[in-house]
Amino acid sequence: MKPFQNVGFLGLGQMGGAMAERLLGADFRLHVFDPRAAAMERFTQSGAVAHNSPVSVANAASIVFACLPSQEVSRQAAFGPGGVVHGSAIRIYAEMSTIGKDAVEQIALALIEKGIETVDAPITGGLPGARAGTLAMLVSGSPSSIETIYPLLRVIGKDVYSMGDHPGMAQVMKLVNNLVMASNMIVASEGLVFGAKAGLDADMMLRVLHAGTGASFASSAILKNAISGVFNFGAALSIIEKDVSVGLHEASLLGVAMPVTDKARTIWHAAYAAGRGGEDFTTILQVVEEKSGTRVRGRPA
């Protein structure tokens, strides 16, 4: 017999919704909550049960996943007045949001007092990976809890990487990943703008970068559609700005100097402060283009 008959999911935004969709139609009941009723409607049409709060989900499901937009929203969903900490059925809480080590440790401490295990479970691979089920799943927490939710992780994503038995360490790995990606995005955009202004073909530049020592996921995959004028990778610029800020803050607490990444952060923050937070994060290419008066455009997608 499976150790779970009811599974919950909090947060049905772009990433959360795409991951939760992969749990539909399985041989357990899916319970969902999102403050937007419209976000839950498509799930209820497919057999999921809609709830009006995190605690309501936690009263029904023994395992609850969460993919939420900020540290404060995650804290409230976990141990706020209507949080899962007050639930009667929940036994494992899998925090998939990117909120940093300190926030996850706070959540884990609050929940363990009620006998609820926390699995730190951020993901990487972007919206395309979430839709295709190819996400890399990062986890840290008690081995028994990870083993319990492992079948669900393999439904949501592809490979599962354990970062240890302390909730928070998977967050560190996710922040390392996002800091490197965000810095690569700026560097790749600047390189492409430089080449375009000199007269190089945008599509050929990506081909050469992919084949050479300058290869990165930022240039080979994330910016692939952007150079054709389609900015739709699937995450808001505000999310990347938040992740970089959280990552640099946690690095500073450890006394780690990251001057190059900090310089990249200033560009992300300037774009966010200029009102571009709601745009797809690949529009950072446009920000770099505007500074040099050049457009990097290849063949239409």
Structure tokens that stand for 143 in this block: 């081995």
For residue 50, count CB atoms less than 10 angstroms from its CB and return exposed for 0-12, middle for 13-18, buried for 19 or more.
middle
Whether 174 sits among the annotated catalytic residues: the reply is yes
Q: Are 58 and 84 in contact (CB under 8 A)?
A: yes
Structure tokens that stand for 239 in this block: 């999310």
Q: How large is the angle between the packed helices 101-112 and 169-198, nearest 10 degrees?
A: 160
Q: Are 6 and 60 in contact (CB under 8 A)?
A: yes
- Four-CA torsion 166, 140, 268, 196, nearest 10 degrees: 140
DSSP, collapsed to helix, strand or coil, labels residue 27 as coil
Hey, CA dihedral for 129, 135, 136, 141, is it positive or negative?
Answer: positive
For residue 32, count CB atoms less than 10 angstroms from its CB and return exposed for 0-12, middle for 13-18, buried for 19 or more.
buried
Cα 30 to the center of its chain, rounded Å: 21
Tokens 């939710």, residue?
Answer: 149
Give kind and range of the element (H or E) at residue 138.
Answer: strand 136-139
DSSP letter assigned to residue 221: I
Q: Which of 2, 114, 174, 197 is catalytic?
A: 174
Adjacent-strand bridge partners of 280: 236
DSSP, collapsed to helix, strand or coil, labels residue 207 as helix
Helices (H) and strands (E) in the chain, counts: 13, 9
Catalytically annotated residues: 174
